[in-house]
Structure 1
Amino acid sequence: MRLRPIPYLFMRGGTSRGPYFLRSDLPEDRETLAGVLLAVIGAGHPGNIDGLGGGSAVTCKVAMLSKSDHPWAEVDYFFAQVISAKREVDFSPSCGNILAGVGPAAIEMGLIEPRDGQTTVRIRAVNTGSLIEADIQTPGREVDYEGPARIDGVPGTAAPIRLNFSEVVGSKTGRLFPTGNRIDEIDGIRVSCVDAAMPMVIARAADFGLSGYESKADLDATRTFYERMEPIRIEAGRRMGFGDVSRNVIPKFAVLAAARAGGTVASRYFMPWDCHPSYAVTGGIGLCACILSPGTIAESIVAPRPSGPTASIFIEHPAGSLEIVADFAITGGQLDLRKIGTLRTARKLASGHVYVPSHLWRVDGGPCQSK
């Protein structure tokens, strides 16, 4: 079997990790691209033994970068979630944790010329249309990965990366509340269907017989919850305009409980067929939009609702907490989310070539040569 080499960086971004590629180094058409990414990750085996994946949703993610033609952005970030157990690739969502590595990767790949001290990289998330500023530490015009910043879910400390998002409302549907309601009832469970950075279905943990403080391991062992949750998620996806989402990772699902460690709210986030070990950044943004908007399912959990013009919302999750800072206003009961951001870290883990079977991607109809 001949193998085709593909240049890549392997990076941790936030609480996720995966390969980062130049988009131009990968197939253009989605079907061939999906096949190549399945091979890169090693999908189809629970441990991804034949690829770079780590056997969980947060380690089966891919970032693809290119120069942007957007009038504001400098870099386009195209994301793929490889669904390892199903041997599928979902190009519909974005990932805010992997996004943390996009600025450093763009500098490492030569897409951005760094400044001495700090470099701000303007990024367009292609999957959702969100616009993000990423502040990267670049003393001496080189990416600095070492520093004092700590994020829950990652051991040790690293250089801080500040992410500020705009244009997040209606990321996939064009509306903050795609069903037209702030609360829907599906199969006897009251939920809020929200679209801000990530389409989400949000419910109270107690309505599923959960405390909302369970560990990831405990939740993943409670398959009766998933059997109850998944039909609700699928119906919510239909009502949100996505059609049949039984094979798609959006909308994501989250459950809420009252904070118990000094935060704003306790939450567990599902990807959607297992629990996130910490919390997704895009999920945190969606949850914040739900909390800040009057009349949602969060209103009975978070009281009083945070007031503007800025608010820091702390989401307690299985590994600690995630802080989201929002710049917003409520006008006539409607949320105007001007900017929303968080602090993340990233680290370059490896670089070189990843190899895939040549039959997956041929050039001009001929076989690829191994190197």
Structure 2
Amino acid sequence: MKSLQSLRIAVRPSASPRLAHQCVRPLSTTMQRFTQARRQQSLPAAYYRGGTSRAIMIRREDLPPDQTQWDPILLGCIGSPDPYGRQLDGMGGGISSLSKVCVVGPSTHPDADVDYTFISLGIKTPHVDLSSNCGNMSAAVGPFAIDSGMIPLSSSESTTTTVRILNTNTNKIIHANFPIIDGEAQADGSFAIDGVAGTASRIELRFIDPAGSRTGHLFPTGNHIDTIDAVPVTCIDAGNPCCFVEASALGVSGVLTPQQIDDHPSLKAQLESIRRQAGVKMGLAGTEDDVPGSVPKIGFVSRPGGGEEGEGEGLVGNGNVVVRAMSVGQPHKAVPVTVALALATAANMEGTVVSTCVVRDGDGQADSGSGSGSGLVIAHASGTLEVDARFDERGDVSFATVFRTARRLMEGRVFWKG
């Protein structure tokens, strides 16, 4: 065998001096190409489930002071835009309830402990939407504030705490009450919510004065019912701007599954047309093209037990009213909490599309199904959700309460390419 020193590489002269010049690049050019690459960028973050959603949780201090610089960072972390719709190169999961970021920091508001900004990110598009709040992820904000040391506990022996949250998207206050163990938010518990497997510690979310979150009015159009595309629509702003239509007015069963909604040849387009027109009527945008993707939210409602045989999977559990909600153009697997807040408010207002679909007890009040005689049980695609909306003597919504669960899934650093 020849030694390495005796090996020779024969290079056949190229017939074209120009081709030879193209094939042999100067070393400086090659080095320059490689030195342009750089390490991934990262920042401290955690990943939480809140209700039936998940999101990256980031402290405000860890993002650039200039909020206009956030978009490429958050899109890179979540893995958008992804033409395949899967967000495999980031932390997203290919559906709207998993394409979210929550930014949390100390508050200067006298009635709040932390400020919380919710950001919804497009999946196939680079859209960054701060136009609304996420009620489900609101359940994770208090635990994140405690777990990250943002809010010191008054005593290591504390068993419960209340974190007062200012949602900057809606400028509304939320009180989150939950148990503490060993200085952290308790995760284990016996409370279950439909749409999430297993049980966890219960978190009470009280939305203070939720009316007029974006528009300043409970009924932004001034009407309890408007007509859009020949369909009666209730436009209401409580927790988030929402619009509701009756399933029968759309010619569909109220208990369609999310897959059946996806498969319907015209339903999603019809709902989106109504939603965009409602957005203009509610003053959220000047034109239908400018209406944000996340608000107003839209859902279609029906009376419990009103589905026709053979359509959908039927009503899951007991409830006072049935809803199927949309989330950024997709059928929601359960129901957004803010949609539930608006639905519960509309249910207690005579002359709305929702109130005509509510099954009530003999006293004219919604039967919660739990014997408490208060609250509204909403049947959705994955089960039920109870909402308690309280009104003052003028008929205004004082607060609305829902119960959720949340859990820290991981913490460390989140990376993006930039």
Structure-1-length-normalised TM-score: 0.92
Q: Is the 8 A contact 1:328 1:339 kept in 2?
A: yes
- Note the 1:63-78 alignment, pairs <5 A: 63-78=102-117
Distance 1:246 1:169 in 2: 20
Q: Is the 8 A contact 1:310 1:326 kept in 2?
A: no
Task: Give deviations 1:110-165, integer Å, cap 9, x for gaps.
Answer: 11113410111111111001211111211332221111010000000011111111
Answer yes or no: is 1:35 the counterpart of 2:72: yes
SS of equivalent residue, structure 2 residue 219: coil
Answer yes or no: is 1:306 the counterpart of 2:365: yes
Q: Which residue of 2 aligns with 1:345?
A: 405
More strand by share: 1
Amino acid at match of 2:75: L
Q: Which residue of 2 aligns with 1:61?
A: 100
SS of equivalent residue, structure 2 residue 149: coil
Offset of residue 207 of structure 1: 1.1
- Note the 1:188-337 alignment, pairs <5 A: 188-243=230-285, 244=287, 245-260=290-305, 261-304=317-360, 306=365, 311-329=374-392, 331=394, 335-337=395-397
Q: Is the 8 A contact 1:60 1:81 kept in 2?
A: yes
Q: Which residue of 2 aligns with 1:21?
A: 58
Deviating more after overlay: 296-305 vs 281-290: 296-305
Distance 2:203 2:355 in 1: 31
Q: Which residue of 2 aligns with 1:132?
A: 174
SS of equivalent residue, structure 1 residue 101: helix
Offset of residue 330 of structure 1: 6.0
SS of equivalent residue, structure 1 residue 84: coil
Q: Is the 8 A contact 1:40 1:52 kept in 2?
A: yes
SS of equivalent residue, structure 2 residue 276: helix
Aligned length: 355
> Between Structure 1 and Structure 2, whose CA radius of gyration is higher?
2
Q: Which residue of 2 aligns with 1:99?
A: 138
Q: Is the 8 A contact 1:129 1:168 kept in 2?
A: no
Amino acid at match of 2:414: V
Q: Is the 8 A contact 2:280 2:291 kept in 1?
A: no
Q: 1:135 to 1:55 in 2, by over 3 A?
A: same
Q: Which residue of 2 aligns with 1:365?
A: none
Deviating more after overlay: 214-223 vs 203-212: 214-223
Q: 1:252 to 1:223 in 2, by over 3 A?
A: farther
Q: Is the 8 A contact 2:284 2:291 kept in 1?
A: no
Answer yes or no: is 1:178 the counterpart of 2:220: yes
Q: Unpaired runs of 5+ in structure 2? A: 1-36, 306-316
Offset of residue 86 of structure 1: 2.1
Offset of residue 246 of structure 1: 4.4
Q: Unpaired runs of 5+ in structure 1? A: 359-371
Offset of residue 34 of structure 1: 1.6
Amino acid at match of 1:306: Q
Amino acid at match of 2:205: L
Percent identical residues: 35
Q: Is the 8 A contact 2:346 2:352 kept in 1?
A: yes
Query: RMSD value over aligned CA atoms?
Result: 1.8
Distance 1:257 1:138 in 2: 39
SS of equivalent residue, structure 2 residue 169: coil
Aligned pair partner of 1:52 in 80, 87, 91: 91
SS of equivalent residue, structure 1 residue 354: strand
Aligned pair partner of 1:151 in 175, 178, 193: 193
Q: Which residue of 1 aligns with 2:48?
A: 11
Offset of residue 254 of structure 1: 0.7
Q: RCO greater where, 1 or 2, for CA within 8 Å and sep 6 or more?
A: 1
Q: Is the 8 A contact 1:201 1:236 kept in 2?
A: yes
Amino acid at match of 1:290: A
SS of equivalent residue, structure 2 residue 266: helix
